[in-house]
Structure 1
C-alpha cells in the first residue's frame, strides 16, 4: 500500500510538471506575432534588424535559436532593403525573432528569369533587341534606373491595359523592380503574358542586383532639376565655356578628378549625378567616386544633348568650381552642431546607445549609457520632460533605439544623431 501511495504521488507530481510545461509552451505560441515588411536597417553588433511595415517600424533581435530560411546569417547585411516575413515574441522589452525568411517573389509560369550578366550583355552589346521595363513607381525610376530602361509602373499597366505595351507580340520584354523580394516585376510580367506576349522575362535581382555587380545606373532630367543633389560636369573648362552647362552643375574636369577627392561632400550618402561628353570617362569617374565611399552615385549619360532635346535650357557664363552640399535632416534627427551645443550646455540628455565596452573606451562628457538592445527595459531611466539626444558610432543603432523608445514612450522628446562618432576618453569627434 505504501508503494502504491508513493507511486501515485510521483505520478501526480510528473503530471503536474507536464501540465506546467504544456501551459508554458502554449503561452509562448499564443504570444508569437508575425510581421511582413522591408528591412530598413541591420545592426550586426546587437543582432538586430529594423522592419518597416507601412508607417510602422519595429526592431527584431535574432539569437542562436532564431530559425533562418533562405538567409545566411553570416551575410545578413545583404537583406537590407528586401522584404521579409518574420515571427517573434516579446520578452524583456525586446522583440525576439523566432523565424525569419526572405519573401522571395515567384516568377509567373510562362516567363523566363534573366540573370545580371545576361542582361548586361544585352544592354551593352545588343541594345534595341529588347524592351527593358522598370515596374517600380515613377519616383524610384527618376532617382536611379538600369540603363536603357523605360518607366512603366504596374499601376499604369493596370489602368491602361494592353495599350500600355504598344509592341509586337514577339518583342522580348524584360521586367525588373527592387530585388528578389519585390512583387512588381512578376506582376507586370503576368499582365504581359495575359495580353499575349510570347517572350516575357523577369530580372528578379532587380536594381539592387545590378548595383551589387558594380554597374552604373541612370538618373532623369526631372530628378536633376528638382532634388537636393551634387551635379558634376566632367567636361574640360573650354568645352563648358563654349557650349554652356546644365544649371546647378559644378565643373570637375575628368583630367583633374583625383585632385577633387578631398573636396567632395563630407556626407558620404550625398546623391551625386555625373554627366559629360565621353561615355568611357563617365563610367570611369562613376567607379572611382564609388571607390571613394559614395554609394549614391548615378550618371546622366545623355548629357547636354539630351537635356536640350527634352526642352530644357542650358546656362552660360562662369560655372562653379566648388562642390557644395547642404544635407537635409529628417524631423527626428539632430544636427552635429545642435548635438555638440547640447553636450556643452547640458540642454539635452545625451544617451550613448553603444555597448558598455565601447562606452568605457570613450564617450561624450555627461553622457549616459543605455545600450540599444536594452532600451526596451531601461527607457524608464530617461526623463519625459527633457530633450533626449541618442547616438552610437554610425547612427544605425541610435535609430533602432529611437524606434524602441518612441514605442515605449510616445511622449518622450527624443532625436537621433545620424553621423560617425569616434571617442577616446571624453574627446569625441563627429563626421558625416
Structure 2
C-alpha cells in the first residue's frame, strides 16, 4: 500500500513539474515587460490546443469561453480568432460594456499580437480588477493562430476581396439557398456535400479562400474551413457575418444587384510630396517598399523610423537607425512634440498594432499626419538584425 502511494505521489510530482516547466518555457518567449505583467497579475497561460477546443464549432454560441482580442479594431477586423469580441486596451472603458450581462465567473481568454504584445495582459488585468474571476491568456495570440488554423474576417475584408477578385468566395449553405441568393462571384460548396465537392477547391494550397454561410450563428462555414485546414490549405478565412451582414450593407447579390456607381473616383497618388510611398490602408506606408529600403540600408535621410514600443523591447532589438518613443506613455500633444522635426515619420512596433494606435492618436487629435505613417509588419529584432514580415493590407 505504501509503495502504491509513493508511486502515485511520484507520478503526481512529475506531472506538476512538467506543467511548471511548460509554463516557464512559455513565459520565457515573452519580453521582460510582458513577463512582468503576467507574473504581477498572476495570469494563467493557455495554448493553441486549449483555445481550439474552447471555440468548438467556431461560433460565439458554441464557444465555451469568451475570446477577447485586445488589439486595435482595424487589426481585429482584418484577422481574428473565430468567435472573438474586440476590447482594445486603449478603449477598454468604452468596449468592456459588451460583457455587462455576462456571469463574472465565465471563462475569458484574452489575446493580442503574440508573445511580445502587452495588450492582452493589460486587458486581462483590467478584467480581473472589474471582478471577472476566470481570466486566462492565450499569449501566443493571433500570429500563432493563423499559422495553425483559419481566421475570422470582417465585412471590409470580403468586400475588398470581391471587388479585387483576390480570393475564392465560398457559400457553405445548402445549394437551394445559394440559387435563391448569394454574394455575387461565389461558388456553392455546401458543408453537407463537402467530401463530394472537395475537388472544386484549387490545387494551389496557398490560394486565398473566404467562406461564409447564414450569419453569426451558422457553423457551416467553420466546418468547411476546418476541413480545408486539415487538407493543408494555408490562407483560409470565415466571414462570420455571412450573407445577412452583406445584405445589411446594401452590397450586390445575385438577386438584387446594386446599381453601379459611375462616379469617377479620385486616384490616390503613389508617393507623398516628399517621396514616401503610400500603403493601401489609410495612414500606412507601403510595407514592401520600406522593407526593401531597410534590407539594402537605403532608408532615405528624410525618413525617421520611430519605434513606439517600451524601452526594454527597444533595447533588445530594433530596426537600424530607429529611435524610441513609447507612444502609449504620452498624450497626443506630448507625443507629437517629441517627434523629430523636418522629417517624415514612420511608426513601428512588433506586430503593427501599437504603431497603428500611435498614428490614430495623432489623427484623432487633429494633428497633420500627411507625412506621418505606420509600418504594418511583424518585426522581431536582436540588436539591429531583424526578421520582418510585412502584413497584407485590408483592401
Query: What is the TM-score with the length of structure 1 in the denominator?
Result: 0.44
| Bigger radius of gyration | 1
Looking at secondary structure, tell me which structure has more strand per residue: 1
